[in-house]
Amino acid sequence: MTQTHFPRSRLVTEAEADKEDLFDYFYDQPGSTPGTLIIEADATPPEIFLIDYNEANSTSVKLSTPEECIDYLDTESVSWVDVSGLGSEDILQRLGEVFGLHPLVLEDIVHVPQRPKVEEYEDHLLILVQMVMPKPNKDGFWIEQVSFVLGQHYLLSVQEEPQRDCFEAVRDRILFNKGNVRKTGADYLAYALIDAVIDGFFPVLEDYGERIAALEDEVILKPSHKTLKKIYAVKRELLALRRYIWPLRNAINSLTKADSGLISSDVIIYLRDCYDHTIQVLDILETYRELASGLMDVYLSAMSNKMNEIMKVLTVISTIFIPMTFIAGVYGMNFEYMPELKWPWGYYTCWGMMIAVAATLCFFFWRRGWFQDSASVNDD
Amino acid sequence: MTQTHFPRSRLVTEAEADKEDLFDYFYDQPGSTPGTLIIEADATPPEIFLIDYNEANSTSVKLSTPEECIDYLDTESVSWVDVSGLGSEDILQRLGEVFGLHPLVLEDIVHVPQRPKVEEYEDHLLILVQMVMPKPNKDGFWIEQVSFVLGQHYLLSVQEEPQRDCFEAVRDRILFNKGNVRKTGADYLAYALIDAVIDGFFPVLEDYGERIAALEDEVILKPSHKTLKKIYAVKRELLALRRYIWPLRNAINSLTKADSGLISSDVIIYLRDCYDHTIQVLDILETYRELASGLMDVYLSAMSNKMNEIMKVLTVISTIFIPMTFIAGVYGMNFEYMPELKWPWGYYTCWGMMIAVAATLCFFFWRRGWFQDSASVNDD
Amino acid sequence: MTQTHFPRSRLVTEAEADKEDLFDYFYDQPGSTPGTLIIEADATPPEIFLIDYNEANSTSVKLSTPEECIDYLDTESVSWVDVSGLGSEDILQRLGEVFGLHPLVLEDIVHVPQRPKVEEYEDHLLILVQMVMPKPNKDGFWIEQVSFVLGQHYLLSVQEEPQRDCFEAVRDRILFNKGNVRKTGADYLAYALIDAVIDGFFPVLEDYGERIAALEDEVILKPSHKTLKKIYAVKRELLALRRYIWPLRNAINSLTKADSGLISSDVIIYLRDCYDHTIQVLDILETYRELASGLMDVYLSAMSNKMNEIMKVLTVISTIFIPMTFIAGVYGMNFEYMPELKWPWGYYTCWGMMIAVAATLCFFFWRRGWFQDSASVNDD
Amino acid sequence: MTQTHFPRSRLVTEAEADKEDLFDYFYDQPGSTPGTLIIEADATPPEIFLIDYNEANSTSVKLSTPEECIDYLDTESVSWVDVSGLGSEDILQRLGEVFGLHPLVLEDIVHVPQRPKVEEYEDHLLILVQMVMPKPNKDGFWIEQVSFVLGQHYLLSVQEEPQRDCFEAVRDRILFNKGNVRKTGADYLAYALIDAVIDGFFPVLEDYGERIAALEDEVILKPSHKTLKKIYAVKRELLALRRYIWPLRNAINSLTKADSGLISSDVIIYLRDCYDHTIQVLDILETYRELASGLMDVYLSAMSNKMNEIMKVLTVISTIFIPMTFIAGVYGMNFEYMPELKWPWGYYTCWGMMIAVAATLCFFFWRRGWFQDSASVNDD
Amino acid sequence: MTQTHFPRSRLVTEAEADKEDLFDYFYDQPGSTPGTLIIEADATPPEIFLIDYNEANSTSVKLSTPEECIDYLDTESVSWVDVSGLGSEDILQRLGEVFGLHPLVLEDIVHVPQRPKVEEYEDHLLILVQMVMPKPNKDGFWIEQVSFVLGQHYLLSVQEEPQRDCFEAVRDRILFNKGNVRKTGADYLAYALIDAVIDGFFPVLEDYGERIAALEDEVILKPSHKTLKKIYAVKRELLALRRYIWPLRNAINSLTKADSGLISSDVIIYLRDCYDHTIQVLDILETYRELASGLMDVYLSAMSNKMNEIMKVLTVISTIFIPMTFIAGVYGMNFEYMPELKWPWGYYTCWGMMIAVAATLCFFFWRRGWFQDSASVNDD
């Protein structure tokens, strides 16, 4: 009952080569029992952090077992249980029991990556999203699934990796009581975290904006085989990003319409704002995709242009010298009776003819504009 | 808590290089507290103008503090508060208090650019639009967000820049009592301003129509590397414009269906007309986009055509002279026994052969139509 | 308060160069007062014709003032007021008063061109359509806006130009009592005229069908730079036509669903037939657009093919003669000791070698099929 | 009041050249009276066949006048009146009277081709479909409109041509009482005929499948100008076929939802099956269209590949011989003082040099892989 | 009453050449009686396996006649009747009687392939799906229709071939009582089998992922004619796969919404999960299709790039040597009076000139970057 990763090209950019493949989803062996958890060999063991707060107080503790949550869950205060790492079947199963999760929910949380979605259950909401973060100092992005389970007074969040997330600012807002997060419930907390995930797409897209802008210059000013590779890579990665944002949009939209009683109408106003951001992300993404697609056409046109330049050089040089060489060839013939050879000014006349031919052809080419460097783009 | 502008290509046309980037939206740092206003360093400080009018009178004053509005807002007469410039957090916050705006509304107004949208609140409507204006004497356009807050007896409009807008004609209509604007309420004023914004797209599009018409000539008559760059620039800017018009269409449409009680049925007839204009703008835009896309194909075909012309010249000249040069080469050989060299008419016979070969090839090329200048397009 | 026409390419076909531009819509200066009529300088002054009929009688008169209609409008008989020419603000304003038109309706009628649409008012329907007519003996079409205002017992139609329309057959049917037009009401008359407008698209499209069929031959048999221009022109004009038909389709559809009481259920059956025709027009149009788009690809492929032919000629001639020329060059060298030169059969051996080389290369090219004229398309 | 056929390209395949044009619809002269029948000059005169059956008996007669049907229509048994040929206005008008058809229905039946559609009238259903049949031993298909009028106890079918249809099998099933057609009503008969029409699309598509498969080989193995023409022809004909199937799908779908009481729920199950077949036809068609479109891209790529091959030959031969010829040229110079010419081994040294240059260049080309025949596709 | 297979290209990959064609659907001769079963000549005779189970027991038997099922069907325990092979009309007809199937249902089961679909009947559901399995050690996949008939206490599944399916794991789960399959009804069994079918698409897609990744390398690093063929093959097979998944998605979706009482709400939760998997399959498929389409563009660009390289070599070599050869030609002329020939340093001066010309041209080419190997892609 193993699971295989989808294949990867040797041309992957650093973003991809690093660790994850951009295009797969998790899948079971056909026919396997639903509800069985499959732990990847290289998954990090889970760490459990709990932040419990109400308007007056906030506590942040690291738990060693899932069962330690139970005390906090029973209180009226909001409990945010943040689990990082998917490396232990035992802990995850117990977590599922503590929070009363359906076996399929637990599978969705553990079997990453899944498509972003929102599912309503009797007393909780399951929200799956994909969090992206730009890589410092290189192209590409990290991607990681974050699963939220939102209950009446608690929020469970499960991440793949403990090292990094984009929730630090939210933790600060709770612990140092900034904004009104402490005055509100678990639904507002869920909003704040989802909003952080969505806002995380902007800097990643900004990166692609920069790469596309650089490619726009390169493709017109100095197109080469490498440019082709880079355009293809950008198109490929944007295609991957898109797969995470489209379903996210639907998920957030269905959240703003959920009437499960778990989300208050105040928070729905905030979620609508969040939905707006998702649309903006999609907007930018689709625009970049159109630009990247356009770049491929421009590349082809630019190559065709370059070819024209090369051909012009060949044609100009060849067609000027070929007739001259012919004339020289004629007077290199060894016929016994060739009157021109005896003329005193024969040699100079011959030069004159050759120069006349060359000049005529040059004039013809000049009139056709073949001597202008039509590859220059910057003057008007 | 800084905010970064999206990247920009070195090939940007003047329109873009000038000041703004066409493809970004404002975004917060992931995880930042919602409702915090971020003021851009180069934003101009806000100026507040108030025009208060009813059927009988109209007053136009410049206010120094937002609180001065309050007196005017209490009356039955229509108050148009026009704020230009987003450079002071303090003033904008106080403005929000005076008009009772939700923190998220204030953020949408200040954090420009946002996607055009309409949002309904309890006692006011928020209408975000993007205003475009053609630049005098150069390609491209200025773009600026205008936010309207429409209440029972007031209209608040917030612009990014104080220097320019397209509302001058509306101000005149109020102050000099032209048309029926003075006889109607704040809803009609909102319509008049939105209509001015939408009509502002037409001259900008007209500009692109002209550029496309010029490119149509250029791409067929005299395609060069610069043409490619220009086509790409037009496609790129139309793509940007499109992003502002599509959501505008939905926003206006939702206005004509709003049943908030803030917009009277008389004004809805006018808004339907306004919606028609938006559709027309979109129509023209999409047509131009299709034309611009078609131009890229034409460019590629024209380049391919040009290459054919170049190759024909090379082929004609080469294939005519190469056999002749060969013949000359043969009689330049130094074999001791070459009977032709001794013939009295050998030299002239040789010329005859060469001319015969050349003539045959010329005939062959002429029959294939290679001597016609197939690059000419104007005769039929 | 002027209005500008959208720009035009120098490559326009006669259709366009003649008078109108295909891609604009009328637009006001941003901020101008709605309801003001703007008269174009070159508009022809309006002429008013009235046909009043019932089952028994029919009268056809030319009126000099709009007010003369009033007598006819009061009767039960159907009055068709046909106004041609938009050149007088005064007459048009008075017309609006006679028929009780909303200022925006009058604007839509006068400010041509507008998008086809149907609008319902309290006691009349506004129907805007675009009428096209093929030009005799040249490519392209005339286009002209026709606005219908349908009331209980009258139909007002307003055209741009008095010289031509496609209503002559309908006038005959009324005056000579052909078919059942005299037995029915104003709604049937409106149907008959709209049907004439829609049927008018067929001959125009037929024209494009012919041009595409001719281009199909040209692009495969004899592609040249002119072909490219022609394909682009067809695509461009079809794009323009499409803009008039798509909204027309929606307009007619909404007519068949209108429940204003102005259109009887009998006429709705006829309008459904009319809607069917619109769909057929669209069908043909989209098919032609696909064909025209396909032609551009075929053109590119055909150019690429042509290039191959050119290159083959160059390659065959060059590669056959270059080695032969080399051999000739070798024996043109002046080394003192070159034994071959002394051989009695040296010269003939040399020719033998050259012919052997040429024959080998010819065989090689023949086996590759480079001697077949692969540009021929008609035998199988 | 003539009607014109849409234009036709000289490149049409046999399918098209034979008789009909694939892209037109019938249209009236603009403004002509609705309800007038226009008979094409080359239409065959109608023949009327009647098959009357109930569970016990079946009669098949050829009628000479439409009025002879009346007796059969009055009985409870199912009467299938099959009219072939549209060449007599008189007979068709009388037919309309016998069956009580609306003038517009009669027009739709006679003015072929029309778009497939279903229309409900008070006591009958009008079903228009297009029947296709593959041509024996050649490419292409025959197309013919079949109109069905389904009443309570009768089915009227009108075909364009008497020679051929695909209903023979259904006639056999009735006359020889195969299956349950005799036990059921006119609705089942209508289903059986429509099903035969739809199943008739499969063999036609099979034909295109074969042509595409052949083109797939041709385009990769041996692309030529003829291939281009053939691909375009297939695309063109599939485009035409598509126009007949898309509206058919909607028509059948609306039949399965009709609640006119004319179609029993048992037959609706059969119609759903029939709808499934339509979807399958569409599925295959769209797949073939995508394949054909893909082929155009492959063609372009294959041409580009072929050009590369040609250029490689030219480049290899030219660049090997040009330097050698240069060397030969050098030692053909006539300078008085050229020491090499005097060397006893000068000639052989010169050959050595030339061979060394050639070998170096060959090695360079071999390393680049230019000697492999990269046009071969069958080994891996 | 034969049925023909759709045509097949000679270029098919092994996947296709093996046995089945990817693009056909089964079709009857037009006009044939619905409900007649057509048995393909090479169909294997059916084998019937029955697994009967409840929470306590499970029995697995091989039946020799369909009628043996009847005893099992009468009990409360779940009976899974698995029929493999469609080679006997008699047995299939009897099977239809045992399970009370409508003749059209039986036809859909036997006449493979059909489009995936779900149909509701009075007391059973028909579910048609296509099962794919990767071929071991070669490209491509096997495809086979599986039809499910779900009743209250039984599930009938009919497969085309007995050798292979992807249900082994489910059989084990029943017989060895793994998971909760034994505790649940026939609806859960149906879910488990459908889930196995859908999960079976993942490994097949993984295969294509690998082939695309390999092609991404090949197309950029070493494009050849074979690459073109391979890209086309991948596009073609993905197109085929897509035809099986799109309708599957709708089928599963309609299952989750069925209210036939045959599917319990517990199982609907599982089916929603199953639907999610279908979406993921589609997601991956569409992504791969976009990548494959992109590859064709990249191929074209890469070919164009390669051509540029070839042309550069030709141009550099030709344009360097042609002027030099000309100079050599000049001094090979035999004029009596050519002063240079007499100069003592003439020969060396001539060499100097030739080298100067070559060096100038080399410098010119070097400055244009034509000596860089622009085909290398791996360094930055």
CATH of the domain at B353: 1.20.58.340
CA distance E31 to chain A (A): 41
Query: Would the pLDDT of A375 be above 90?
Result: no
Query: Would the pLDDT of E12 be above 80?
Result: no
Judge whether A172 and B29 are in contact, CB under 8 Å. Answer: no
Helices (H), D154-224: 168-175, 186-199, 201-221
pLDDT for residue C2: 40
- C333 inside 8 A of chain D by CB: yes
Q: Looking at chain B, which subunits does it touch, using at least 3 CB pairs closer than 8 Å as the criterion?
A: A, C
**Residues A3-18, mean pLDDT to the nearest whole number:** 43
Among residues of chain E, what percentage have pLDDT more than 70?
92
Determine the residue type at C149. V
Judge whether B103 and B96 are in contact, CB under 8 Å. Answer: yes
- Side by side, the strands of the sheet bearing E154-159 are E58-63, E47-53, E78-84, E154-159, E141-150, E125-134, E117-120
pLDDT for residue B380: 43
* Residue finishing a domain among C252, C281, C300: C300
Could you tell me if C189 and C332 lie in one domain?
no
Q: Do E298 and A232 touch (CB under 8 A)?
A: yes
Pairing assessment for the beta strands B141-150 and C47-53 based on DSSP bridges? unpaired
pLDDT for residue C376: 56
CA distance A181 to chain E (A): 34
Q: Which residue has the higher pLDDT, E123 or A8?
A: E123
Q: Which parts of chain D have pLDDT scores under 50?
A: 1-20, 379-380
Three-state DSSP class for residue A367: helix
* Alpha-carbon span A184 to A177, nearest angstrom: 11
Q: Do E169 and A32 touch (CB under 8 A)?
A: yes
Question: What part of B 174-193 touches A (C-beta under 8 Å)?
Answer: none
Q: Which two tokens stand for residue A300?
A: 């082809």
How many residues belong to chain E?
A: 380
pLDDT for residue B375: 54
Could you tell me if E327 and E207 lie in one domain?
no
Pairing assessment for the beta strands C47-53 and D125-134 based on DSSP bridges? unpaired
- B297 inside 8 A of chain C by CB: yes
* Residue finishing a domain among D300, D323, D345: D300
The partner residue sitting opposite D301, judged by closest CB among E24, E239, E299, is: E299
Confidence of residue E5 (pLDDT cuts 50, 70, 90): very low
The partner residue sitting opposite C169, judged by closest CB among D32, D104, D350, is: D32
Helices (H), E100-224: 103-110, 168-175, 186-199, 201-221
CA angle at residue A342 from A341 to A343, to 5 degrees?
95
Confidence of residue E374 (pLDDT cuts 50, 70, 90): low
Of C15, C94, C14, C5, the closest CA to residue C41 belongs to: C5
Could you tell me if E293 and E150 lie in one domain?
yes
Of B144, B290, B128, the closest CA to residue B204 belongs to: B144
CATH of the domain at A77: 3.30.460.20
* Alpha-carbon span E122 to A269, nearest angstrom: 47
Cβ burial E170-196 (10 Å sphere, 16+ → b, else e): bbebbeebebebbebbbbbbbbbbbbb
pLDDT for residue A126: 92
**Residues E208-216, mean pLDDT to the nearest whole number:** 89
Could you tell me if A95 and A188 lie in one domain?
yes
Total-model pTM: 0.82
pLDDT for residue A119: 87
Could you tell me if C313 and C296 lie in one domain?
no
Could you tell me if E210 and E108 lie in one domain?
yes
Among residues of chain A, what percentage have pLDDT more than 70?
92
E330 lies in which domain range?
305-379
Q: Looking at chain A, which subunits does it touch, using at least 3 CB pairs closer than 8 Å as the criterion?
A: B, E
For residue E294, the chain A residue with the least C-alpha distance is A232
Confidence of residue B266 (pLDDT cuts 50, 70, 90): confident
Contacts of B104 in chain A (CB under 8 A): 269-270, 273
Judge whether A280 and A200 are in contact, CB under 8 Å. Answer: no
Judge whether A46 and A74 are in contact, CB under 8 Å. Answer: no
Could you tell me if E320 and E181 lie in one domain?
no
Question: What part of B 233-272 touches C (C-beta under 8 Å)?
Answer: 269-270, 272
- The C-alpha R_g of chain C, in whole angstroms, comes to 34
Pairing assessment for the beta strands B125-134 and B117-120 based on DSSP bridges? antiparallel
Contacts of C287 in chain D (CB under 8 A): 23, 239-240, 243
Cβ burial A2-17 (10 Å sphere, 16+ → b, else e): eeeebbbbebbbebbe
Of E67, E85, E4, E9, the closest CA to residue E237 belongs to: E9
Q: Do C377 and D225 touch (CB under 8 A)?
A: yes
Cβ within 8 Å of residue D59, ≥6 positions away: D50, D51, D52, D53
Of D169, D139, D160, D177, the closest CA to residue D53 belongs to: D177
Q: Do A329 and B333 touch (CB under 8 A)?
A: no
pLDDT for residue B44: 85
> How many domains would you assign to chain B?
2
Could you tell me if A367 and A254 lie in one domain?
no
pLDDT for residue D375: 54
User: If residue A55 lies in a helix (H) or strand (E), which one and from where to where?
Assistant: none
**Residues B223-237, mean pLDDT to the nearest whole number:** 88
- What is the residue-averaged pLDDT of chain A? 84
Three-state DSSP class for residue D146: strand
Q: Do A334 and B321 touch (CB under 8 A)?
A: no
Could you tell me if B162 and B99 lie in one domain?
yes
Contacts of A334 in chain B (CB under 8 A): 331-334, 338, 341
Could you tell me if B19 and B137 lie in one domain?
yes
For residue C273, the chain D residue with the least C-alpha distance is D104
**Residues E241-245, mean pLDDT to the nearest whole number:** 88
Q: Which of A231, A289, A301, A380 to mutate to test the interface with B (most CBs of B within 10 A)?
A: A301
The partner residue sitting opposite C334, judged by closest CB among D114, D325, D341, is: D341
- B27 inside 8 A of chain A by CB: yes
pLDDT for residue C111: 87
Q: Is the dihedral of CA A226, A227, A230, A232 positive or negative?
A: negative
pLDDT for residue E193: 93
* Residue finishing a domain among A300, A327, A360: A300
The partner residue sitting opposite C319, judged by closest CB among D33, D102, D313, is: D313
- B41 inside 8 A of chain C by CB: no
Confidence of residue A150 (pLDDT cuts 50, 70, 90): very high
Could you tell me if E285 and E311 lie in one domain?
no
Q: Do B342 and A319 touch (CB under 8 A)?
A: no
**Residues B251-279, mean pLDDT to the nearest whole number:** 87
Q: Which of E330, E362, E378 to mutate to test the interface with A (most CBs of A within 10 A)?
A: E330
- B287 inside 8 A of chain C by CB: yes
Q: Mind listing the pLDDT tens digit of every residue in chain C (380 residues)?
A: 344 444 444 444 444 444 346 677 777 777 777 777 888 777 888 999 999 999 888 999 999 899 988 988 888 899 999 999 888 888 999 999 999 888 888 888 888 888 898 988 888 899 999 999 888 777 788 888 999 999 989 999 999 888 788 888 889 889 988 888 888 899 999 999 999 999 889 989 988 988 998 998 888 888 888 888 899 989 989 998 888 888 999 889 888 887 778 899 889 888 988 998 999 899 899 999 999 988 988 898 888 888 888 888 888 888 899 998 888 888 888 888 888 888 888 888 889 998 999 999 999 888 887 877 655 555 44
Could you tell me if B340 and B214 lie in one domain?
no
